[in-house]
């Protein structure tokens, strides 16, 4: 699924009432709704979620009438995408809405001084990395690359994107250096670098920090 390839963990529920219950009881970064379900209206789910959660809600629906779309926005929807749709654009919009909410709520991961995932602890200010309590030595770029991926867990980045972000250079440069740095990072954080548990290769796409 394209949303998963773009770095999102997806939980699908086709039953409207069950979906509403899960949306309210579990932690999600975003909710994507259909306008109509057999046992509940999508607008009712939207209103209930918005009354209790500060997360973006998007409609992905075959209902493309102007009245339906306007009703969704008036009820508090953050976006409305009609079917058929471009999957890449859908993924991009989902990421944009989540990033915007993080910024508005002041919880941007980039502001965190300490990042912890499983056995890895990254102290951004001190530029120190601990794996299972043991400090590991990282070069400047290795630290920057690991930190960037850890700040955006489960999101897939192409080598070109990582090269631009970490080396601040256009992708026409030697992006093979990204592969080299990933290999060195794995040797320091993974129990078995040939079977990585943290930095995962998504073949044909790029890398992601898996949590």
Q: Are residues 119 and 83 in the same domain?
A: no
Percent pLDDT > 70 in the chain is 91
Stretch 61-68: mean pLDDT, rounded? 93
Distances, alpha carbon 123 to alpha carbons 12, 16, 151, 191, in Å: 35, 42, 12, 21
- Residue 119's domain is classified under what CATH number? 1.10.10.10
Q: Are residues 59 and 128 in the same domain?
A: no
Task: Give dist(CA 174, CA 160) in Å, integer.
Answer: 9
Q: Identify the pLDDT of residue 112.
A: 59
Q: Are residues 79 and 173 in the same domain?
A: no
Domain with 143, as residue range(s), is 110-209
Q: Are residues 85 and 127 in the same domain?
A: no
Torsion angles phi and psi, residue 117, rounded to 5: -140, 115
Q: Are residues 52 and 133 in the same domain?
A: no
Q: Are residues 90 and 126 in the same domain?
A: no
H runs (alpha helix) in 105-167: 140-151, 159-167
User: Which of 100 and 48 is assigned the larger pLDDT?
Assistant: 48
Query: The whole model's pTM is what?
Result: 0.55
Residues in the chain: 211
The sheet with strand 57-61 has its strands ordered as 31-33, 57-61, 79-82
Number of domains in the chain: 2
Q: Are residues 6 and 37 in the same domain?
A: yes
Torsion angles phi and psi, residue 185, rounded to 5: -65, -45
Q: Are residues 85 and 173 in the same domain?
A: no
Task: Give dist(CA 174, CA 36) in Å, integer.
Answer: 50
Q: Are residues 11 and 99 in the same domain?
A: yes
Stretch 24-35: mean pLDDT, rounded? 92
Domain endpoint, select from 83, 104, 125 = 104
Domain endpoint, select from 46, 71, 104 = 104
Tokens of 197: 């548990």
Domain endpoint, select from 104, 121, 148 = 104
Q: Are residues 74 and 93 in the same domain?
A: yes
pLDDT tens profile 90-147: 888 998 898 888 777 765 555 558 888 888 999 988 899 999 999 999 999 999 999 9
Q: Residues of 125-159 as b/e, b for ≥16 C-beta within 10 angstroms?
A: eeeebebeeeebebeebbbbbbbbbbbbbebbbbb
Write the CB contacts of 57 (distance below 8 Å, at least 6 apart in sequence): 30, 31, 32, 33, 46, 49, 50, 76, 77, 78
Tell me if 79 sits within 8 A of 97, measured CB to CB. yes
- Residue 6's domain is classified under what CATH number? 3.40.50.2300
């Amino acid at each position: 699924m394209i949303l998963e390839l773009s770095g999102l963990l997806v939980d699908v529920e086709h039953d409207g009432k069950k979906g509403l219950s899960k949306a309210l009881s579990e932690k999600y970064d975003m909710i994507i709704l259909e306008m109509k379900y057999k046992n509940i209206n999508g607008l009712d789910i939207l209103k209930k979620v918005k009354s209790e959660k500060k997360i973006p809600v998007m409609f992905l629906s075959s209902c493309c009438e102007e009245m339906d779309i306007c009703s969704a926005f008036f009820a508090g929807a953050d976006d409305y995408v009609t079917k058929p749709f471009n999957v890449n654009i859908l993924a991009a919009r989902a990421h944009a809405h989540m990033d915007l909410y993080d910024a508005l709520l002041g919880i941007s991961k980039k502001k965190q001084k300490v990042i912890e995932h499983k056995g890895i602890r990254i102290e951004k200010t001190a530029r120190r990395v601990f794996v299972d309590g043991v400090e590991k030595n990282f070069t400047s770029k290795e630290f920057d690359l690991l930190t960037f991926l850890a700040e955006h867990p489960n999101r897939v980045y192409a080598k070109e994107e990582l090269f631009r972000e970490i080396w601040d250079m256009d992708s026409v440069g030697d992006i093979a250096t990204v592969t080299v740095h990933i290999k060195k990072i794995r040797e320091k954080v993974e129990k078995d670098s040939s079977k990585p548990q943290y930095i995962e290769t998504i073949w044909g796409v790029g890398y992601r920090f898996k949590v």
